[in-house]
Structure 1
Amino acid sequence: VGSIDHGYLGVQIQPVTKDVADAVGLDKTGGALVAAVTADTPAAHAGLKPGDIVTSVGGEAVKTPKDLSRLVADLSPGAKKSLSVWRDGKTIDLNVTVGTNEESQKQAAAENPDAQGQSTGQPSLGIGLADLTPDVRQELNLPRSISGAVVAKVAPDKSAAAAGIQSGDVIVSVNDRPVHNARDVKTAIADAGKAGRKSVLLLVERDGNKTFVAVPFGAA
């Protein structure tokens, strides 16, 4: 029995919510947010990265993840198409050679079938952050050797509170990446989300002790 070959890219995609659009500087929702790129697939060879937002395929607009799936599936394997992608605040074009659905079956084990069910918001832990100003250091009695960002507030019903994060905690690293201010922490958390992480590992200084706390992402 002959099977119909559908085009295949090798990405996990999510909707572009308002939170996501705001986070990446898009003035409207629309497109397909790349949550993950499977290694050694047409998407990987074309240079697609997690965090990219695909806005068109071969000149046809992509408004939702379903649009992208449909447009790619309709292409013949081996077809070369230009993808318009929003990355780092600007649109770039990537050329992709579409794969076959045989490849997709081989890769299915590596793909997460629940990608669509993941939180579609920008990663959020439910914390408010502030820089370590001299006044804050004095208040918390922190030595100058400590750098990071202080937790100014914790939303009571969000994941950080559930994980035990408290106001006054100082986040000194995120996923083993040292941080120096609130912006560093936010960037590292966002990067972890783009990389498809389901949680983030924070190194927290509290009362002179350092502790690792893993905090799962919640929807913003």
Structure 2
Amino acid sequence: PNGGSVGVGFAIPSDQAQKVVAKLMKGGSIQYGYLGVQIQEVTPDVASAIGLDHSGGALVSEVNDGSPAARAGIETGDVITSFAGQDVKDPKDLSRAVADVAPGARETADVWRKGKPMRISVDVGHNSDDVKTASLDDGSGAPSAGRAPAIGLGLMDITPDIRQQMNLAGKQHGAVVASVNPDKAAAASGIQAGDIIVAVNQVPVKNARQVTQAIALAGKSGRKSVLLLVERGDAQMYIAVPFANG
């Protein structure tokens, strides 16, 4: 394609999203391996241009100043083909491999640079951030004034750490489902931890607060259910959740 390089965001499977959320709920923050690079897909055209005999790997489009990658000597234009002993076939593989490494560990990265392979040692860093949560369950089993109906959800904003850990695109908005009460309507309707709610009653939402407010508004309007647009892995679906008093 013509024009400049385009960064690619990848969704992760729902089971891995649930593991991410479980880590968050356990400690209130994410502790995972951090490299500090922006990466994109190596297309056949890119591979040909840089002398690789096959497409694959993760092309480094930017190295964050002061990051573990910068300290290790990784450069813009490098193609990372393996990390910590795991083959890297695409950016998603690299994101997973780095996230699986304990912060502080020293690992090796196989890199293709200017027509030559090389191996670089990297002291893996960590990137953690406090997680903002918004509960949609007041514990009473019934809606109360100023609160969302108790459909049984706990939500988190999409912080920079969550965005990286879940391989979300830079423009991804919404709220991550952090917890689902198994005895409430959301669970019965099929909502899962790790889902991302991107719209409520066909109105886009940007964060957990907007989801909470939109569900509360739907409950106060007398509707018997609320329609949630949910992203799960690579799929997007509508799920109707009935209110407790519906």
Under TM normalisation by the shorter chain, which class is it? 0.3 to 0.5
TM-score (norm 2): 0.42
Q: TM-score, normalised to structure 1's length?
A: 0.47
